[in-house]
Structure 1
Amino acid sequence: MGFAFVLGLAFASALDLRGHGNAAQASLLQQPATRPFIPAAKPAADLGQAFVAVAEHVKPAVVFIQSQHQERVDTRRLPPGFDDFFPQFRGRPRVEQGTGSGFIVSSDGYLLTNNHVVEGADKVTVRLLDKRVFQAKVVGTDPQTDIAVLKIDAQNLPTVAFGNSDSTQIGEWALAIGNPLGEAFAFTVTAGIISAKGRLLQGLYAGGYQIQDFIQTDAAINPGNSGGPLVNVRGEVVGINAAIASETGYSAGYGFAIPINLARTVMQQLVASGRVQRAVIGVMIQEARPEDAQAVGERDIKGVVVQDFSSDESPAKKAGIQQGDVITEVDGRPIEYGAQLQQIVGFKKPGETVSVTVLREGGVRKNFTVRLAAAPPTPDTEQISSAGSRTRGTAGTISRRSATLGITVEELTQEDVRDPSLRPVLQNGGGLLVTDVSPDGPAYSRLAPQGSPAGPDIILKVNGQPVRTREDFRAALRAVHSGDIATLIVFSPGNQAQPGQQRVVRLLMP
């Protein structure tokens, strides 16, 4: 190695390369640092500077949240008086800790975050970008929208600016700011676009009045980002980062934010009274399908279908709205999916009225004035009986395969009549139980047969005609021809977590 090094120096000296190398080095050091001018790159450079400016403006109003819940667990029971002799068996407190994000909405210390960031917490600590730490008070929470309002004792704080989430467009740039994966990555900024709007995430929150109207973004969101702001390129908050869709639990490009317009409405009620009061029109709804649009003579597939009513005292039912009606407008505002109807109605005051426009079968357009009622509490699940799973033998059963719908039905048995979960069916005069659904028929994936997790469905009516027997079923279908829509009123028995309810199923006859 030493020989090679010396030989190299000798070779360089012989060629006088050392002097040239020093001159080249000096030349490089003296070269002026000029930026290349690439006209085509200017828009991208301007966008990058916009991201920088937005991040610098918003980050001071973003906070790092730590929540703590202490639970005392008795690991072993001891006779009275023995605790002092066996201290190792005493119940030791178990401390659960979590982290999340939030942002300051007023200079006197009000903050917005997710309910699930602080839910059940005994202690909430907030750290600002400037490293100041405060104990936070939970002003109010709303699990149905996953919104929480906190308050810290401080003044002259930096705040965010609110944007208009209703006018946010798919394809717009968006920045997510928060604390992914804990304190080590606090105040991280990621960029992406608005990927979609009006997203529904099944199974995310429990409760009968949850409002899901998520903004989808591909800006990276990870655990810990919850509660942080989703910001547009004008530095305005358009959403609260709340959830991700991922098989691993980490960002896979599908993040979801609560629209800030919805969050502001909830926040105002929580600050004013500590709780959220909701109004309802008393309907269960589902987004319209092509069959629904055809049934009401509408080219565009829009609106929500009235599946059932909350009770006979439902404001919508009392106003004259019927099962199967397609709600297209409320107070003149178009309704394309369910969360829009929920937001227009839900945050009005009970006793107020709304104008509801519906389309009915045959292309009939009707307007109804509906007086809103207060939302009742969520049903007590302990009082809901379960239909359980039904096992039926083939011997002695009377079934009928509908060649057009591709389903097999059975009349209710005496055992079914005694089932308390089917009491609503009997109150409606009975129905036909779906025992099988052909994968080749129009009812496949629309009706739940016996043996399926959601089944069995019970058909109550076909095109408005009650069907209690096989002959009723045949007679109702005889009036429906190929290309027509068959409208079924179906009862799903439900389970301990979800009560049974009716729904409308429209099928295109082959």
Structure 2
Amino acid sequence: MHSKLRKLAVPGVLAAGLGAGLTLADVMKDPIADAGAQQAQPAVYTGAATAPGSPAALSTAFRAASHAAMNAVVQVRTETAARTVAQQVPPELRGTPFEGMFGGQMRVAPQATSGSGFIISPEGYIVTNNHVVDGVTRVKVVLNDKRELDARVVGRDPNTDIAVLKVNGSGLPTVRLGDSDQLDTGDWVLALGYPLELGQTTTAGIVSAKGRSIGIMQRSDAASSPLEHYIQTDAAINPGNSGGPLVDLQGRVIGVNSAIASPTGYYSGYGFAVPINLARRVADDLIRYGVVHRPMMGVEIRDVTNADAEVFGLPSPDGAVVASETKGAAREAGLQMGDVIVALDGQPVRSRGDLMEAVMRKEPGDPIRVDYVRYGSRRSATLRLTQMDVRPAAIQSDAGEVADGDDAADRVGFAVTQITPQIAQQLGAPGAQGVVVSGVDPMGPAAGQLGRGVIIERFNGRAIGTVAELRQAVAALKPGQVVSITARFNDGSHTIVNFRARS
């Protein structure tokens, strides 16, 4: 059975409202001086001394960490109003005599869901997940002392799945924020929240991995520039945990629980949390402006593959490939398509997620130093970040089949057709010439890198204008040789992809 990635609460509606007053920079300087200073702090176990590293000592550490944060962990209850939607005909019944049973309007009953959150300021600012409050019409927050308070949505960021709520209050208990950069694989962590309507729950586990990109944000229509750089943990996380804190053994929040990998939708061993250093930056903007001011370099990037390392002269398959023509600040600084970014401000960049998170922590207008490799030569450049103008992401389809019996198509995993005036019109690129990808083998070497409608311009440095020229270039490949393709999308932008041909 294949594992499925799920967000942990039913998506719900934006309740409007912009934050005013204190910003996160004001309220997060050190909301809790130490783990014992939290209001209404339950007594921590003070029994007989235990040997360091013993099971009893670990139990005491878990207890202290849980108690340090639990007063500020809240349940987020949401409601979605009844609505009328068009009734859809199931695909398997279309064109059958039963199709007439469907159509028209259908009344959807009000829905109630819940998630979790945590208070970051005594005045009532609360961090949770965007998907907990997306689409809901009413939000209530239940505090640890059972008080129920109406909440408004200060702001949401679908790209990082972070949202901020506000309740009216003063002197509320708050969490203490940690430093997710200091985490390492194997560190103990606790997940707190309100899973499965069971009431407040604490589970324990370790950090299983850092910097995980699981692809779940790409499935959200609202996420135009998704940023995934999750902490992976085996602490049990279930529906209802969304938005709750992941804390270290000092009770400091180091992540926001957001998703699980599961074939059933319930805990199966792997949970994912947004690092608090990223969530803190996003929440600060949401409180201050109601939206996120996201900086940008002017590059489209992807992870480095083994084939990239061979083509670009890298010592290892680490870094972020500049996958299309550069724009703005990156172009002015001299970066080009095919460059591989390996460090930012002296900090190593091992993946696309590393670079995106590092840039996200900056502000538009900040200068940054970028180290990159251009075909084996290491270089550096300084550029000034600009502000991202977020637009809906274009959707590209990888659907299609490679024609049977085509040896050239089989070796590279995709098929092409000659561009005619009619095809150029369909592509939305009148005047386009050359060959266009007509199908991609979903199990082939080009899967996930090329899609239908992409125009092939160069193949291993050789200009391609006809199907025959591409066949000749493929025929010249040695078994298992790396392929480097320069391609053009129908909007005129370019990309470069590298993979290893089939033997």
Output the TM-score relative to the length of structure 2: 0.76
Please point out which of 226, 233, 258 is paired with 1:242: 258
Q: How does 1:392-403 map to 2 (within 5 A)?
A: 401=408
2:359 aligned partner: 345
Residue 485 of structure 1 contacts residue 509 of structure 1 at CA under 8 Å; is this kept in 2? Answer: no
Is 1:169 the counterpart of 2:184? The answer is yes
Q: Name the aligned partner's letter for residue 56 of structure 2.
A: A
Deviation at 1:477, TM superposition (A): 7.0
The structure-2 alpha-carbon separation of the partners of 1:118 and 1:40, relative to structure 1 and needing over 3 Å to count, comes to same
Residues 171-229 of structure 1 deviation map (CA, whole Å, 9 limit, x = unaligned): 111111110012xx111111111111111121335333111001111111000000100
- Secondary structure of 1:181's aligned partner: helix
1:7 aligned partner: none
CA distance in 2, matches of 1:43, 1:402: 61
CA distance in 1, matches of 2:146, 2:185: 36
Is 1:423 the counterpart of 2:429? The answer is yes
1:181 aligned partner: 196
2:72 aligned partner: 61
Please point out which of 458, 461, 473 is paired with 1:461: 458
Residue 176 of structure 2 contacts residue 253 of structure 2 at CA under 8 Å; is this kept in 1? Answer: yes
- Secondary structure of 1:227's aligned partner: coil
Residue 242 of structure 1 contacts residue 257 of structure 1 at CA under 8 Å; is this kept in 2? Answer: yes
Please point out which of 467, 489, 502 is paired with 2:495: 502
Alignment coverage as a number of residue pairs: 436
CA distance in 1, matches of 2:158, 2:354: 19
CA distance in 2, matches of 1:307, 1:75: 41
1:355 aligned partner: 369
More helix by share: 1
Deviation at 1:302, TM superposition (A): 0.8
The structure-2 alpha-carbon separation of the partners of 1:73 and 1:272, relative to structure 1 and needing over 3 Å to count, comes to same
1:266 aligned partner: 282
1:27 aligned partner: none
Q: Name the aligned partner's letter for residue 276 of structure 2.
A: I
1:324 aligned partner: 338
The structure-2 alpha-carbon separation of the partners of 1:114 and 1:334, relative to structure 1 and needing over 3 Å to count, comes to same
Is 1:155 the counterpart of 2:170? The answer is yes
The structure-2 alpha-carbon separation of the partners of 1:48 and 1:390, relative to structure 1 and needing over 3 Å to count, comes to closer
Please point out which of 344, 367, 374 is paired with 2:380: 367
How well do the aligned residues superpose, as a CA RMSD in angstroms? 3.8
- Secondary structure of 1:401's aligned partner: helix
Residue 411 of structure 1 contacts residue 468 of structure 1 at CA under 8 Å; is this kept in 2? Answer: no
Unaligned runs of 5+ in 2: 1-47, 88-105
Unaligned runs of 5+ in 1: 1-36, 77-90
CA distance in 1, matches of 2:438, 2:138: 52
- Secondary structure of 2:362's aligned partner: coil
CA distance in 2, matches of 1:387, 1:215: 29
The structure-2 alpha-carbon separation of the partners of 1:409 and 1:328, relative to structure 1 and needing over 3 Å to count, comes to same
Residue 349 of structure 2 contacts residue 355 of structure 2 at CA under 8 Å; is this kept in 1? Answer: yes
The structure-2 alpha-carbon separation of the partners of 1:68 and 1:338, relative to structure 1 and needing over 3 Å to count, comes to same
Deviation at 1:402, TM superposition (A): 7.9
Deviation at 1:290, TM superposition (A): 1.6
Deviation at 1:423, TM superposition (A): 2.3
2:228 aligned partner: 212
CA distance in 1, matches of 2:412, 2:167: 62
Deviation at 1:474, TM superposition (A): 7.0
1:108 aligned partner: 123
CA distance in 2, matches of 1:42, 1:365: 46
Deviation at 1:437, TM superposition (A): 6.4
- Secondary structure of 1:308's aligned partner: coil
Q: Name the aligned partner's letter for residue 430 of structure 1.
A: G
Deviation at 1:264, TM superposition (A): 0.3
Residue 327 of structure 1 contacts residue 335 of structure 1 at CA under 8 Å; is this kept in 2? Answer: yes
CA distance in 2, matches of 1:211, 1:119: 18
Residue 432 of structure 1 contacts residue 468 of structure 1 at CA under 8 Å; is this kept in 2? Answer: no
2:144 aligned partner: 129
Q: Name the aligned partner's letter for residue 261 of structure 2.
A: A
1:280 aligned partner: 296
Is 1:306 the counterpart of 2:322? The answer is yes
Please point out which of 37, 40, 63 is paired with 1:52: 63
CA distance in 2, matches of 1:42, 1:72: 56
The structure-2 alpha-carbon separation of the partners of 1:66 and 1:115, relative to structure 1 and needing over 3 Å to count, comes to same
Q: Name the aligned partner's letter for residue 212 of structure 1.
A: E
2:420 aligned partner: 414
Please point out which of 89, 94, 117 is paired with 2:132: 117
Structure possessing the higher radius of gyration over alpha carbons = 1
Is 1:201 the counterpart of 2:218? The answer is no
The structure-2 alpha-carbon separation of the partners of 1:390 and 1:315, relative to structure 1 and needing over 3 Å to count, comes to farther
- Secondary structure of 1:423's aligned partner: coil
Output the TM-score relative to the length of structure 1: 0.75
The structure-2 alpha-carbon separation of the partners of 1:367 and 1:478, relative to structure 1 and needing over 3 Å to count, comes to farther
Which has the larger displacement, 346-355 or 430-439? 430-439
Residues 373-416 of structure 1 deviation map (CA, whole Å, 9 limit, x = unaligned): 321232376xx79898699899xxxx88389x556755514166
CA distance in 1, matches of 2:342, 2:455: 28
1:489 aligned partner: 486
Which has the larger displacement, 314-323 or 120-129? 314-323
CA distance in 2, matches of 1:74, 1:455: 33
Residues 258-290 of structure 1 deviation map (CA, whole Å, 9 limit, x = unaligned): 100000000111111111011212222111112
CA distance in 1, matches of 2:234, 2:251: 18
- Secondary structure of 1:234's aligned partner: coil
Residue 432 of structure 1 contacts residue 469 of structure 1 at CA under 8 Å; is this kept in 2? Answer: no
The structure-2 alpha-carbon separation of the partners of 1:119 and 1:289, relative to structure 1 and needing over 3 Å to count, comes to same
Deviation at 1:466, TM superposition (A): 2.2
